[in-house]
Amino acid sequence: MNCDDAQLRLHAYLDDELGPVESAQIGQHLDQCPNCLPVYRQMQALRAAVRTRTAYFTAPEGLETSVRSALRANVVEGSPRREVARKWLGLGAALAITVVATWSLTLLLSAPGEQSRLLREVVSDHVRSLMARHLTDVASSDEHAVKPWFNGKLNFSPPVRDLTTQGFPLVGGRLDYLHGRPVAALVYRHRKHPINLFVWPAPAGAATGERTYAREGYNVVHWVGGGMNFWAISDLNRKELQAFARLLRRPDVGEPPVRLVPGAQDAGNAPKK
Ligand SMILES: [Zn+2]
């Protein structure tokens, strides 16, 4: 894909109107192209500015009163009723235009919500990692090799657990870019199906419940735990991906980053009374 092709599609890319393959191609081009990335960033900034500084037009104070008194004056002066009707019609038309303008602006701004934008990015990153055959920067099933690999590359340390004995071997990890920030991508496999698990810190008070989505033929499970956002995506069926997510959420599987439940049963290596 060349720059002309990429830039032609940037608006559609930003508006979530492209298919996953095309979207991934654009993303890939943006990763490598010093010309198109600034153009894309500018579009993003413009969109953000429009969103946060939405123009609202409030009728000036006293408009209603002056309209009423003008009307009354007309009536009092005995001018034809048609004149009055015309004034009201004009006011009505102006109001209608304002309403339509506000309504279309609202539609334009609220079309893809934040969550759906993020979901689209998750799908694109997943597809891109498969297309580019660039699943891992560090290939290892050893959590003690994968976790330290992120040191100095991210400003947080993602929890890494191997789930080989549960049927989801850890394959490795890589750096990725999501939601406007670098994130950890942990790669697992179940049978032949690759799973990308994106991890980055969650804001305080983020909802922790599990959410499942289906998008472009992929299943996605999202949850928040231990202060981290988790997004798991795969072509695995929904049940298996949910099982994977639940294994990761269990504090007694693999190596928990923090022991949350004192005295909880673990794999059996704790001394028993
Ligand atoms: Zn370019």
Residue-wise pLDDT tens digits, 69-121: 877 776 665 556 666 677 777 777 777 766 666 555 544 443 347 788 889 99
Q: When comparing pLDDT for 28 and 244, which is higher?
A: 244
**170 close to 161: Cβ distance less than 8 angstroms:** yes
Distance in Å, CA 164 to ligand 1 centroid:
41
**What separation in angstroms does the CA of 226 have from each of 106, 178, 215, 248, 260?**
36, 19, 26, 11, 9
Q: What is the pLDDT of residue 169?
A: 95
Distance in Å, CA 6 to ligand 1 centroid:
6
Residue 169: CB partners within 8 Å, gap ≥ 6? 141, 162, 163, 188, 189
By three-state DSSP, how is residue 153 classified? Answer: coil
Distance in Å, CA 104 to ligand 1 centroid:
31
**14 close to 43: Cβ distance less than 8 angstroms:** yes
Q: How many CB atoms lie within 10 A of CB 172?
A: 19
Distance in Å, CA 5 to ligand 1 centroid:
8
Question: How many Å is the Cα radius of gyration of the chain?
Answer: 27
Tokens of 185: 């991508």
Q: What is the pLDDT of residue 109?
A: 42
Distance in Å, CA 7 to ligand 1 centroid:
7
Fold of 114-249: Phosphorylase Kinase; domain 1 (3.30.200)
Distance in Å, CA 37 to ligand 1 centroid:
7
Give the amino acid at 48: A
pTM above 0.95, yes or no: no
Distance in Å, CA 183 to ligand 1 centroid:
24
Distance in Å, CA 133 to ligand 1 centroid:
21
Q: How many CB atoms lie within 10 A of CB 78?
A: 6
Distance in Å, CA 120 to ligand 1 centroid:
21
Q: Cα(146)–Cα(159) distance, rounded to whole angstroms?
A: 10
Distance in Å, CA 177 to ligand 1 centroid:
18
Environment class of residue 158 by beta-carbon count within 10 Å: exposed (0-12), middle (13-18) or buried (19+)? buried
Q: What is the pLDDT of residue 42?
A: 84
Q: When comparing pLDDT for 226 and 207, which is higher?
A: 226
Q: Cα(175)–Cα(183) distance, rounded to whole angstroms?
A: 6
Distance in Å, CA 9 to ligand 1 centroid:
11
Distance in Å, CA 3 to ligand 1 centroid:
3
Distance in Å, CA 36 to ligand 1 centroid:
4
Whether the predicted pLDDT of 46 surpasses 60: yes
Distance in Å, CA 138 to ligand 1 centroid:
28
205: confidence class by pLDDT, cuts 50, 70, 90 = confident
Give per-residue pLDDT as tens, 180-191: 899 999 999 999
Give per-residue pLDDT as tens, 225-269: 889 999 999 999 999 999 999 999 886 554 444 444 444 444 444
Distance in Å, CA 265 to ligand 1 centroid:
54
Distance in Å, CA 29 to ligand 1 centroid:
6
